[in-house]
Amino acid sequence: MIIPNLDRLNQAMLNLLVSVSDSAILPRYRNLVSSEIADKGKNELVTIADRESEVLLAEGLEKLIPGLAIVGEEASDADASVLDGLSQQCWIIDPIDGTGNFASGNPPFGILIALCEGGLTQAGWIYDPLEGRFCHANRGGGAFIDGERIAAKTTGAAPPIAGISTLFMQDGQREQVQQNIAPHYTLVDIPRCAAEQYPRLALGTNDVSIFNRTLPWDHAAGVLWLNEAGGKAARNDGSEYRVDEWDKPGLIGAASPALWEELAERMARLD
């Protein structure tokens, strides 16, 4: 697939994502047997497609920029020392974001790749294998979909539309959010896929989202992309999301800084 106006790195990344999707992901979609799906625990599944695609992505990324640390979701699950790479210049890979959806034969799911240095994402890519949607951003360079620069837009709805994930919250926090945050928004189902949730925040589908768990492969690419689009994604206290602080809970994403501030103020008032 060739998209006009892509620079060399972004075109090479798109080529890699399409190749891995076509060879390791889409052939398995709605074609998995039970032995090809495993439970990692903590509401997490992994499939043979996750593992195969991560290996192929890692091989391809090493060819794009040799010598960088590679932090893959599945590799780090097998060996926690892989996470040490987050303190270096590194690639971060989520080979299939939304594995639960993929394993059930349902959209959405996607591939997330981030290039990081100094704990911060410098470039990020979000690819939807079913739709062929290619999102990318470089720090300070704007956000793009299929080579076209985009600007985040709100839904214009009153009250604003919120996709709030409470899955990984403690019971007390979940109750606080449901009682004191949810009534100020129109709630919609979450896609259980960051590769879909971040585009929803920029494309006028959702206005705000709350994430409690902030794993680097889920958020490194999307946080940068949304911020470069003119929305806002940051820790609940307003600090910048860092991939080397992935075990720190709490992240808010919004289609505009004003919507972010409004939700952050409400979150700050929770017990």
Binding residues for Mg(2+): 73, 94, 96-97, 218
Q: Are 259 and 251 in contact (CB under 8 A)?
A: no
For residue 161, give the H/E element and its range.
Answer: strand 161-164
Take residue 19 and report the two structure tokens written for it.
Answer: 């190749």
Write down the H helix ranges in 129-193: 171-180
Q: How many CB atoms lie within 10 A of CB 23?
A: 12
Query: Which residues neighbour 148 within 8 Å (Cβ) at sequence distance 6 or greater?
Result: 5
DSSP type of residue 181: T
Helical spans, DSSP H, in 21-138: 48-64, 73-78, 99-104
Q: Tell me, what amino acid is at 211?
A: F
Closest CA to 242 of 231, 230, 233, 253: 233
Please report, in range form, the residues annotated as the binding site.
73, 94, 96-97, 218
